[in-house]
Structure 1
Amino acid sequence: MYSLSVVLTITLAGLIVGTFIGIFLSQRKSGQSQRQVELEKQVLDLQQQQQSYQADVSKHFNHTAELLNQLTESYKDVHSHLATGAQLLAGEQLHTTIKTLAADGSTSKTEQPEQPSSLTPPLDYATTGGTLSEDWGMKKSLVSDERNEAGYPKSPA
Structure 2
Amino acid sequence: MNEMENYVAIIIIAFLSGAILGVLIYRLVKGDGGRSKRVEQQMDDLQQKHTRYQAQVSDHFVQTAQLFNRLNDDYREIHNHLAKGATELCSEDNANNLLNLATQAPDAPVIDHHDDISEIEDMYAEPPRDYAPKSNNDKGTLSEAFGLKDKEEDKEKNKDA
Q: Do the two structures share a fold, i.e. TM-score over 0.5?
A: yes
* Partner of residue 83, structure 1: 83
Supply the distance in 2 between the matched residues of 1:94 and 1:27 (Cα, whole angstroms): 93
Report Cα offsets for 1:31-57 as digits up to 9, x if no partner: 001100110111011111101110111
Supply the distance in 1 between the matched residues of 2:63 and 2:79 (Cα, whole angstroms): 24
38 and 87 in structure 1: CA distance in 2 versus 1, 3 angstrom threshold: same
Counterparts of residues 3-152 of structure 1 (less than 5 Å): 3-95=3-95, 97=97, 132=123, 134=125
Report Cα offsets for 1:63-97 as digits up to 9, x if no partner: 11011101100000001001111111112231464
For the 8 Å contact 2:83–2:99, the answer to whether it is kept is: no
Q: Paired residues, what number?
A: 109
Identify the structure with the greater helix proportion.
2
Scaled by the length of structure 1, the TM-score of the pair is 0.61
Supply the distance in 1 between the matched residues of 2:89 and 2:52 (Cα, whole angstroms): 55
Q: Provide structure 2 residue ranges, at least 5 long, that are not aligned to the other structure.
A: 102-118, 127-161
Scaled by the length of structure 2, the TM-score of the pair is 0.60
**Which range moved further: 84-93 or 32-41?**
84-93
Q: RCO higher in 1 or 2 (8 Å CA, sep ≥ 6)?
A: 2
Supply the distance in 1 between the matched residues of 2:8 and 2:17 (Cα, whole angstroms): 14
For the 8 Å contact 2:87–2:95, the answer to whether it is kept is: yes
What stretches of structure 1 move > 6 A for 4+ residues in a row? none
96 and 65 in structure 1: CA distance in 2 versus 1, 3 angstrom threshold: closer
